[in-house]
Amino acid sequence: MTIVPVALGDRSYDIRIEANLLERAGPALAHLANGRPMPIVTDQNLKPHLPVLQASLRAVGIASEALVLPAGEATKNWANLERVTDWLIALGVERSDHIIAFGGGVIGDLTGFAASILKRGCNFVQFPTTLLSQVDSSVGGKTAINSAAGKNLVGAFYQPALVLIDPALLDTLPRREVRAGYAEVVKYGLIDDFAFFEWCEANAGALLAGDPQAREHAIAHSVAAKARIVGQDERETTGKRALLNLGHTFGHALEAETGFSDKLLHGEGVAAGMALAYAYSARLGLCPTQDAERVAAHLRAVGLPDGLKAAGITASGATLVEHMLHDKKMAGGTLPFLLTRGIGQTFLDKTVDLADVTAFLDAQPR
């Protein structure tokens, strides 16, 4: 078992990582229950695991009704926000109660946002079940739904009271989804931790094959990195937390081009986006070419896209840059980019010339 603290003053909390924690969730949550029920919001994919969670809670005297929503990104909408909040109100949830978000990023984001507004804010626990949500979205308090104009445009910074991570839940996840989540693991090495990138190069194979030690180490290291960054810049105001968006501006354009669909999963877009951020930094003479090639080679080796061609993108540079202009990271008419001086040396640049990015993208193999 590993405990990683997130230090945020009176909003501090722990991340507890432990294989088969699902079966021990009751004892892990008992100190929060205070004799009250703990409602669970989850999705159809988690139905096989839900009875295990509820039995574990029942064993320590915690009642837990569940709302099972459809799986998928489309669930993160206004209608389901209303559905979740109405359901919680009908259950008689009080402000000091804890709601459990049991699922991937969609369930975590939606439930966290519902908790942030219900009765002006009640408590919630993140119990992420995908690699992507375990190493990224469940930690740090970003919660949101999508609006007609785009992804995550309506939301709040709202921290959970606890994060429970059971790496064994990944055993039943499709391999493609685990691989996509791995992009957010190696991201931490590429941001500011060369030694962790080297660890990833040596251990990604074991991790993706389900080796328990490699998996637990990767998750613990990733959430510790995220906790450190969020602890320094909770609301993404100083530029520090923005480092977590490495690969996301290029990736967002690729995801938009594929209609945010299963053609390109978010983690796959991030992988290709990180390779492009490194290649673009090399083109600008900021980053050694061999570093950009080494990053691309690693992504290829684990089966992740290393650029436009591998991501199946044929669109022009102008079309992709047009998608970027709809990114919510636009500020003051400019688009901040995460560039790099080498592996583990990412920095924020607000002066990138979009005409040059267009030319760079046009020159990429299709």
Binding residues for ligand GLY (CB under 6 A):
136, 140, 142, 241, 244
- Active-site position among 49, 226, 234, 257: 226
Q: Count the Cβ atoms, other than its own, within 10 Å of residue 82.
A: 11
Tell me how far apart the alpha carbons of residues 77 and 142 are, in angstroms, rounded to a whole number: 16
Is there a catalytic annotation at residue 236? yes
- Active-site position among 49, 217, 252, 298: 252
Tell me how far apart the alpha carbons of residues 247 and 236 are, in angstroms, rounded to a whole number: 17
Query: CB 165 → ligand GLY: shortest distance, Å?
Result: 16
Is there a catalytic annotation at residue 184? yes
Beta carbon nearer to ligand GLY, 159 or 358: 159
Beta carbon nearer to ligand GLY, 142 or 298: 142
Query: CB 233 → ligand GLY: shortest distance, Å?
Result: 9
Query: CB 126 → ligand GLY: shortest distance, Å?
Result: 12
Is there a catalytic annotation at residue 142? yes
Amino acid 85 reads T
Query: CB 62 → ligand GLY: shortest distance, Å?
Result: 29
Please report the DSSP string for 225-265 in residue order.
Answer: HHHHHHHH-TTS-SSTGGGGGTTHHHHHHHHHHTTTSTTS-
Is there a catalytic annotation at residue 245? yes
Amino acid 26 reads G
Paired sense of beta strands 337-340 and 123-128, if any: unpaired
From residue 158, alpha-carbon distances to 33, 120, 210, 234, 302 in Å are 20, 11, 32, 10, 34
- Active-site position among 179, 187, 248, 298: 248
From residue 330, alpha-carbon distances to 133, 240, 258, 275, 323 in Å are 25, 16, 21, 21, 11
Is there a catalytic annotation at residue 11? no
Structure tokens at 141: 């308090």
User: What does the angle CA 169 – CA 173 – CA 178 come to, to the nearest 5 degrees?
Assistant: 100
Residue from 276, 279, 337 nearest 307 by CA: 276
User: What does the angle CA 70 – CA 71 – CA 76 come to, to the nearest 5 degrees?
Assistant: 85
Beta carbon nearer to ligand GLY, 99 or 244: 244
Is there a catalytic annotation at residue 98? no
- 280 within 8 A of 253, measured Cβ to Cβ: no
Beta carbon nearer to ligand GLY, 64 or 137: 137
Is there a catalytic annotation at residue 241? yes
Beta carbon nearer to ligand GLY, 217 or 241: 241
Beta carbon nearer to ligand GLY, 133 or 358: 133
Amino acid 186 reads V
Query: CB 364 → ligand GLY: shortest distance, Å?
Result: 25
Structure tokens at 294: 């080494």
Residue number with the smallest Cβ distance to ligand GLY:
244
Query: CB 90 → ligand GLY: shortest distance, Å?
Result: 31
Is there a catalytic annotation at residue 36? no
- 317 within 8 A of 359, measured Cβ to Cβ: yes
Query: CB 248 → ligand GLY: shortest distance, Å?
Result: 8
Beta carbon nearer to ligand GLY, 133 or 340: 133
Is there a catalytic annotation at residue 323? no
Question: How far does Cα 16 stand from its chain's mean position?
Answer: 17
- Active-site position among 146, 179, 184, 221: 184
- Active-site position among 76, 151, 215, 266: 266
- Active-site position among 76, 179, 187, 241: 241
- Active-site position among 76, 142, 151, 215: 142
Structure tokens at 283: 């083109």
Is there a catalytic annotation at residue 146? no
Which residues does the annotation mark as catalytic? Answer: 120, 142, 184, 226, 236, 241, 245, 248, 252, 266
